Amino acid sequence: MTAKSIIAIGFSMLGLTAQAQSLNTYGNTGLIDMPTAHGMPDGHVAFTYGTVGNAGRATVNFQISPRVEGSLRYSTIDGFGAGNTDRSDQQFDLKINLLDETTAPFALSLGFRDFLGSAVYSSEYLVATKEISPGLRITGGLGWGRLAGERAFGNPFGGTRSNPAGGAQQVNSANFFQGPDTGFFGGVEWQPQGSDWRLKAEYSPDTYMDEVASGQFNRSNGWNFGIERRLGHGLDGGIYWMGGQEVGFRLSFSADPRTPRVPPDLINGPPPFTARPATAKGGTNWVSNQALQDQLMTALAPAFEAEGLSLRAAKLEATSVEFHLANLHHDRAPKAVGRAARLLTTGMPPSVETFHITLIENELPTATVTVNRSDMERLVDTHEAVPESWQRFAIANAVPLEAPTWQAPGAGLSYTIGPKVPFSLFGGTFDFDVVLDAEATYRVSPEFSFHAEASQSLLGRLQDVTPATGPLPRVRSSFAAFQSDTPVLDRLTADYVSKLGENLYGRASVGYLERMFGGISGELLWKDVNAPLAYGLEINYAHQRDPGSLLGFNGYDTVTGHGSIYWDTGWNGIYAQLDAGRYLAGDWGATVTVSRRFENGWEVAGYVTDTNADTSASTSGSFDKGVRLTIPLGWTVPFPTRRKLTVPFSDLARDDGARLDVSNRLYPLVRDVDRNRLGDNWASFWQ
């Protein structure tokens, strides 16, 4: 069997998720403009760009849980209202599935479109969908707000809707199910079995009243028709005839985080396992033979390296050994521990009964897994191996190794060059750049290092944006001034990180902390590997850098910092984080972040920040919000790697709620190696 053939297998198995449900121009699961009652499979992520006449909509859609679908959208309308003004808005949508078609005669969902935003698309709906034959679905629903533009009957809930003036963003709960009318919508979609083509027709009560009033949009009736095609590799697109007058388009890319694009374990099996022969003598003289120990470690270090593990330190005793290892490329931490244990079954003399294996992250000892060698010999390859080893192998907080028998040299230079893709959402508009980023670290000792980072913008698309203005110091709204056609020194710091106690981590950084600020940053993190809660404290003195000079500063400085609580809920991969304190512009407030992390490293996070800053002049709303998406590279390439691509969808030029962009915050460094995360992927210990 050739490697060529193996790779061919890998690529032929590029698993594409069967996409039974389709998306609409709003990026929600739906017909053309209208929603359906179905959702995507749990965890599904979809990016959609849709246009209808003079409106453009870029949406990130996430199936938060099997019954809840959430969407974040950035929209533009070129001509709105009688004044024919252009609009840029952000919106959040939520759809809750009440009945599932697998257990009920039809699916039923309650939805809120633009429930958090400027209310330009504000509407609520109750929608039912039924698959009446394979591939043929009918949908009908009642709508309020924009979905009651054409009246079906009077609204039994009555009330009036009042959208915020000036496009300011808010929670639109006061408008829920209000207004004089209730509308009816419905439609049908048909996708013949085995076909990539899909036909749709719908009736929409949305009259596009303000778009029509601008003179930039035409509509004769409420009927929309479309043809869509699944294009492969997660792409899906459609073209539509809207309201008898306008053309619409949609292009979506969707992915299931749990279905990797390449098989995750291809040509990546474990090294051979070696059991001690029953007749092994188990002598311990080797412990007092330093030459023999040196020989052993000289052989083991490259063996670990070949297995994707970097040996940092070891302590050898007659019946137990402790190894501190950095996981270089295994995306699942238990896999790294298991690989190390297998090598030790081969490399350690028979007298050694216990392996203490400690994983090091950024030179910080995180967790120690204690492996009983006899248990491993008994369990290997058996069906009981996974659950029983989880019960029998202990997980404890790691501490630095005292008096190691062997230690890797502390000093060394490392570097990374790679692309980054910053997205920016200025006041609702949406843009991005591609940046070539180079980082270098010179480590003086395991704790102390120097770090430099420089980048070159390749597209320069973030230099022309007009930032929002307000009364706060321009800590981020001067963003454009810090963009350049030439290479920029993003960071130049001296860093000290250390495990100060069994559960306590510490960090101190000084220098140019980020592109826009220099100063001093200190952080403490309390995190027990067996506890779901962690607590952090960060204090910084920050001085704004001078965009006109390489190393200079301008006149603004401040003290900023936060207390943080991190909670791994243990439910469905949901994590929550609360940061409260003083932000860069001197405003006080808090940020709540909720994220869902998948076992393979995918993460979808949403955050909201509210501070005491006066944001009345801001069109971006009274509080900051955004979404962050993290995709592990191992999900898309046929070899193990821990690299991840993080794409933040956030307003990079907003002054209120702004935090320092410190590169080595402690919690993200250590959170992947605790009991919960090890348990998520414990089976990989044996892979």
Look at residues 611, 624, 578, 607 and name the one whose alpha carbon lies nearest to residue 477: 624
Which residue in 215, 283, 419, 668 binds other proteins (CB under 8 A)? 419
Are 521 and 665 in contact by the 8 Å Cβ rule? The answer is no
CB of 575 to other proteins, least distance (A): 16
Q: Is residue 434 involved in binding other proteins (CB under 8 A)?
A: yes
Q: Using the minimum distance from each CB to other proteins, give the nearer residue, 402 or 485.
A: 485
What gap in Å lies between CA 438 and CA 359, rounded to an integer? Answer: 26
Q: Is residue 41 involved in binding other proteins (CB under 8 A)?
A: no
Are 328 and 408 in contact by the 8 Å Cβ rule? The answer is no
What gap in Å lies between CA 510 and CA 524, rounded to an integer? Answer: 15
Q: Using the minimum distance from each CB to other proteins, give the nearer residue, 218 or 268.
A: 268
The DSSP secondary-structure symbol of 290 reads H
Q: Using the minimum distance from each CB to other proteins, give the nearer residue, 294 or 384.
A: 384
Query: How far apart are the two ends of the chain, measured CA to CA in Å?
Result: 21
Which residue in 510, 637, 646, 667 binds other proteins (CB under 8 A)? 637
CB of 111 to other proteins, least distance (A): 30
Q: What is the rounded (10 degree) CA torsion for 678, 680, 682, 687?
A: -110
CB of 532 to other proteins, least distance (A): 15
Q: Using the minimum distance from each CB to other proteins, give the nearer residue, 473 or 601.
A: 601
CB of 406 to other proteins, least distance (A): 18
Q: Is residue 302 involved in binding other proteins (CB under 8 A)?
A: no
Look at residues 122, 128, 126, 89 and name the one whose alpha carbon lies nearest to residue 107: 128
CB of 414 to other proteins, least distance (A): 3
Which residue in 418, 501, 552, 668 binds other proteins (CB under 8 A)? 418
Angle between helices 290-306 and 333-347 (to 10 degrees): 140
Within residues 306-365, the interface with other proteins by CB under 8 A covers 308, 310, 326-329, 332, 362
Which residue in 170, 643, 646, 661 binds other proteins (CB under 8 A)? 643
- Residue for token digits 């979808």? 604
Q: Write the CB contacts of 301 (distance below 8 Å, at least 6 apart in sequence).
A: 311, 408
Phi, psi of 414 (to 5 degrees): -140, 155
Which residue in 14, 136, 267, 578 binds other proteins (CB under 8 A)? 267
Look at residues 665, 670, 676, 530 and name the one whose alpha carbon lies nearest to residue 599: 676
What gap in Å lies between CA 644 and CA 23, rounded to an integer? Answer: 27
Which residue in 638, 658, 662, 671 binds other proteins (CB under 8 A)? 638
Within residues 655-674, the interface with other proteins by CB under 8 A covers none
> How many positions of this chain bind other proteins (CB under 8 A)?
80
Q: Using the minimum distance from each CB to other proteins, give the nearer residue, 438 or 492.
A: 438
CB of 187 to other proteins, least distance (A): 31
Phi, psi of 678 (to 5 degrees): -60, -40
Q: What x-and-dash track marks residues 226-265 binding other proteins by CB under 8 A? A: --------------------------------xx---xxx
Which residue in 134, 166, 194, 272 binds other proteins (CB under 8 A)? 272
Q: What is the rounded (10 degree) CA torsion for 153, 157, 159, 163?
A: -80
- Residue for token digits 């420089």? 454
Q: Is residue 278 involved in binding other proteins (CB under 8 A)?
A: no
Which residue in 89, 453, 568, 680 binds other proteins (CB under 8 A)? 680
Within residues 589-628, the interface with other proteins by CB under 8 A covers 599-600
Are 572 and 506 in contact by the 8 Å Cβ rule? The answer is no
Are 107 and 97 in contact by the 8 Å Cβ rule? The answer is yes
Q: Using the minimum distance from each CB to other proteins, give the nearer residue, 2 or 173.
A: 2
Within residues 514-533, the interface with other proteins by CB under 8 A covers none
Which residue in 20, 280, 399, 413 binds other proteins (CB under 8 A)? 413
Q: Is residue 414 involved in binding other proteins (CB under 8 A)?
A: yes
Q: Using the minimum distance from each CB to other proteins, give the nearer residue, 382 or 445.
A: 382
Q: Tokens for 108?
A: 């039923």
Task: List, in sequence order, every residue forming a beta bridge with 424; answer none if it has no partner.
Answer: 431
Look at residues 370, 334, 358, 338 and name the one whose alpha carbon lies nearest to residue 681: 334
What is the DSSP track for 48-102?
Answer: EEEEETTEEEEEEEEEEETTEEEEEEEEEEEEETTTTEEEEEEEEEEEEEEE-TT
CB of 290 to other proteins, least distance (A): 27
SS3 assignment, position 495:
strand
CB of 100 to other proteins, least distance (A): 16
Which residue in 152, 251, 266, 301 binds other proteins (CB under 8 A)? 266
Q: Is residue 268 involved in binding other proteins (CB under 8 A)?
A: yes
Are 515 and 492 in contact by the 8 Å Cβ rule? The answer is no
Look at residues 403, 408, 414, 411 and name the one whose alpha carbon lies nearest to residue 445: 411
Q: What x-and-dash track marks residues 449-468 binding other proteins by CB under 8 A? A: -------xxxxx--------
Q: Is residue 651 involved in binding other proteins (CB under 8 A)?
A: no
Q: What x-and-dash track marks residues 373-412 binding other proteins by CB under 8 A? A: ----xx-xxxx-xxx--x---------------------x
Within residues 471-490, the interface with other proteins by CB under 8 A covers 485-486
Q: What x-and-dash track marks residues 487-506 binding other proteins by CB under 8 A? A: --------------------
